[in-house]
Chains A and B, each alone.
Chain A
Amino acid sequence: MTHTISKFKTADGKAVAESLEKIKKDGLGTFITVMTDCESAKTAGSGPLAGVPVAVSDNISTKAVETTCASKIMKGYVPPFSGKAVDDLEQAGAVIVGKTNMAEFGIFGAPSAYGPVKNPWDKTKKGGPSGSAAAVAAGEVAAAVCSDAGGILRVSAAYCGTTAFKPTYGAVSRFGLIYYTGSLDQIGVTASTVSDVAAVMDVLSGNDSRDTTSLPSKTDFSGKIKTGKSDDSGKTCESGNNPLSGVKIGIPNEYLEGVSSDVMERFEEAVSTFEKLGAVCEKISLKTAKYAQSAHDIIAAGESSAMLAKFDGTRFGPRADADNWHEMIAKTRALFGPAVERRIILGIYLLMAGRYNDYYMKSMQIRTLIIEEFESVFKEYSLLIAPSAMTAAPDLGVACAGGCGEELSSYSSAMAGTDLAGLPVAAVPCGFAGKLPAGLQIIGGYQKDADVIATADAFEKATDFVKAPEAV
Chain B
Amino acid sequence: MIQKDEMKELAWAARIAVGEKDIPEFQDKINKKLAYYAVIADAPADGVPKTVNPSRLNTVLRKDAVVPSMSVEDALKNAPDVHETSFKIPKIL
Binding site for B on A (CB under 8 A): 76-78, 80-81, 169-170, 182-183, 209, 212-213, 215-216, 288, 290-291, 294-295, 297-298, 305, 312-319, 322-331, 333-334, 336, 338, 341-342, 344-346, 348-349, 358-359, 361-369, 371, 406-408, 420-423, 446
Query: With contacts A344-B14, A345-B30 known, is A325 near B89, CB below 8 A?
Result: yes
Decide: A341 and B50 in contact? CB cutoff 8 A: no
Given A348-B13, A422-B55: A342 in contact with B29 (beta carbons within 8 A): yes
Nearest 6 CB-CB pairings of A with B: A422-B54, A364-B50, A183-B53, A80-B74, A316-B78, A319-B80
Q: Which of B23-73 contact A (CB under 8 A)?
A: 25-26, 29-30, 32-33, 36-37, 39-41, 43-45, 48-57, 60-63, 67, 70
Minimum CB distance partner of A209 in chain B: B62
Give Cα distance in the complex from A277 to B49, angstroms.
40
Task: Kindly identify, within residues 64 to 93 of chain B, every residue whose CB is under 8 Å from any CB belonging to chain A.
Answer: 67, 70, 74-75, 77-81, 87, 89-93
Shortest CB-to-CB span from A381 to chain B, Å, is: 19
A213 to B60, CA, bound (A): 6
Chain A positions within 8 Å of B56 at CB level = 446
Task: From the candidates A77, A81, A369, name the one contacting B70 in the complex (CB within 8 A).
Answer: A81
B48 touching A213 by the CB < 8 A rule? no
CA distance A319 to B82 in the complex (A): 12
Beta-carbon contact of B10 and A420 below 8 Å: no
Quick one: which of B18, B33, B75, B87 contacts A334, CB cutoff 8 A? B18
Contact of A368 among B37, B48, B79 (CB under 8 A): B48
Q: Contact mask B11-25 → A, CB, 8 Å, 1/0? A: 111111110001001
Chain A residues with CB below 8 A from B14, complex form: 305, 333, 341, 344-345, 348
A165 to B91, CA, bound (A): 48
Q: Which residues of B contact A81 (CB under 8 A)?
A: 70, 74
Min Cβ gap B20→A in Å is 13
Alpha-carbon distance A423/B36, docked complex (angstroms)? 25
Contact of A336 with B16 at beta-carbon distance under 8 Å, contacts A291-B39, A328-B89 already known: yes
With most chain A CB atoms within 10 A of its CB, the pick from B11, B14, B54 is: B54
CB distance from A53 to the nearest CB of B (A): 28
Tell me which residues across on chain A come within 8 A of B13, comparing CB atoms.
345, 348
Determine if B79 and A316 form an interchain contact, defined as CB atoms under 8 angstroms apart. Answer: yes
Known: A329-B15, A363-B40. A183 touches B52 (CB 8 A): yes
**How far, in angstroms, from A323 to B93 measured CA to CA in the complex?**
9
Chain B positions within 8 Å of A, measured between CB atoms, are 2, 7, 10-18, 22, 25-26, 29-30, 32-33, 36-37, 39-41, 43-45, 48-57, 60-63, 67, 70, 74-75, 77-81, 87, 89-93
Question: 28 pairs across A/B with beta carbons < 8 Å?
Answer: A169-B53, A183-B52, A212-B61, A290-B39, A291-B43, A294-B36, A316-B79, A319-B81, A324-B90, A325-B91, A330-B16, A334-B16, A334-B18, A336-B16, A341-B11, A342-B26, A342-B30, A344-B16, A349-B10, A349-B30, A362-B43, A364-B50, A364-B51, A367-B50, A367-B51, A368-B50, A369-B44, A408-B36
Determine which residue in B16, B49, B81, B93 has the highest number of CB atoms from chain A within 10 A of its CB, and name it.
Answer: B16
**Smallest CB separation, B27 vs chain A (Å):** 10
- Min CB distance B90 to A, Å, is 5
Q: How far is the CA of A371 from the CA of B13 in the complex (A)?
A: 33
Write out the residue numbers on chain B whose beta carbons fall within 8 Å of the beta carbon of A78. Answer: 77-78
B54:A345 contact, CB within 8 angstroms: no
A168 to chain B, nearest CB (A): 9
Question: Which chain A residue has the least Cβ–Cβ distance from B62?
Answer: A209
Taking a contact as CB atoms under 8 Å apart, the answer to whether A314 and B87 are in contact is: yes
Q: Which one of B10, B30, B43 has the greatest number of beta carbons of chain A within 10 Å?
A: B43
* Docked CA distance A408–B49 (Å): 25
State whether A294 touches B37 (Cβ < 8 A): yes
Alpha-carbon separation in the docked complex, A358 to B44 (Å)? 13
List 12 extra interface pairs beyond A290-B39, A325-B92, A349-B2, CB under 8 A. Answer: A297-B37, A298-B37, A319-B81, A346-B30, A346-B33, A358-B41, A363-B40, A365-B49, A366-B45, A368-B45, A368-B50, A407-B33
